[in-house]
Structures are given as C-alpha cells and as structure tokens.
Amino acid sequence: MGKTLPSDFEWIRPIGKGGYGKVWKVKHNKTQKLYALKQMNKARILSKKSIKNVNSENKFLQQLYHKHIVNVRKAF
C-alpha cells in the first residue's frame, strides 16, 4: 500500500467502540478493498498512561495471523 493516510479511505460506518476509540469499516479509495480501521483517542491514551499497552497491542497484532482475527496491516 505504500504511505497511507486516513484520507486515503472512505469511512463507511462504525462497527465497534472501545475504551480508547472506535473501529470503522473503511474502503481504500485506490484498491476498493475493505478494512477495519481502529481510530484511537490520543488524549485519552495519554491521560490514562496507557501508551505502553497500546504499543504492545499493536506489536502483538502485527505479528499475529489468524483467519478469525482481523490482522494489522498498517498503523499511523
């Protein structure tokens, strides 16, 4: 995908909500592929001092591959 920005996607609808933000169903404008995009509230992460937890989750999900779990492709 190369350098990817949030503006490279059509934001279709929210599909989940958590303690730090929302998960959105998005479509990549160029490829038309569908993805789940996790949008996190940076201020909330900082106020709860959860930077280490968020980074650990990202690292773990990038290493994981399973057919029943959404796999991380990019983080920005």
CA-based radius of gyration for the chain: 13
pTM for the full model?
0.78
Q: Which residues contact 9 (CB under 8 A, 6 or more apart)?
A: 26, 27, 28, 29, 35, 37
Domains in the chain, CATH or no CATH each: 6-63 (3.30.200.20)
Task: Please state, in angstroms and rounded to a whole number, the distance separating the CA atoms of residues 46 and 8.
Answer: 26
Asked if 48 and 38 touch (Cβ cutoff 8 Å), the reply is no
The DSSP bridge pattern shows strands 9-17 and 21-28 to be: antiparallel
How many CA atoms within 13 Å lie on the side-chain side of 32?
Answer: 0
pLDDT by position in tens, the chain (length 76): 468 888 999 999 999 998 888 999 999 999 999 999 999 999 999 999 999 999 998 899 889 888 888 788 888 7
Give the model's pLDDT for residue 2.
66
Give the model's pLDDT for residue 67.
87
